[in-house]
Amino acid sequence: MPIDKIFGTTVDLLAKSIDLRSRSHTMISANLANVETPNYTPTALSFENELKGALKGKKVGTPAITHPKHIPLKGQSNSVQQVQGTVIETPSLSPGKDYNGVDLETEMSRMAENQIMYNASIQILSKQFNEIKSAIRENK
């Protein structure tokens, strides 16, 4: 039996969230490492809306139909696993004299929030697997 039949989309969603939060952590770390690099523009990974759209069944990564004669592509999955996120630039509203756009306090708060969400996803995923382990033990 496939695991998605047991948990629905919960495990897929949590796994993808953990993956994307890890990528986001890497970007935030790069921003912090470049806090004194002249002309550096910080980046962030935006993925929450894509995940919500995938859960609601919207096509992820599907080309837009921009002309009435375009043929819509069929057979593409609405899978949460297709969500990749979008890299966006997040410069500070008041860059320094060297035009560095990293705001140390903003990046540190983004890192803390990202870490909390990452840890929460790990805990929920662990709880899901503990529940299935418990159910298996009870059936013995």
51 near 13, Cβ under 8 Å? yes
Distance of CA 42 to the CA centre of its chain: 17
Tell me the pLDDT of the chain averaged across its residues: 85
Percent of the chain with pLDDT over 70: 79
pLDDT per residue as tens digits for the range 88-129: 999 888 888 899 999 999 999 999 999 999 999 999 999 988
- Residue among 62, 110, 107, 106 nearest 82 (CA): 62
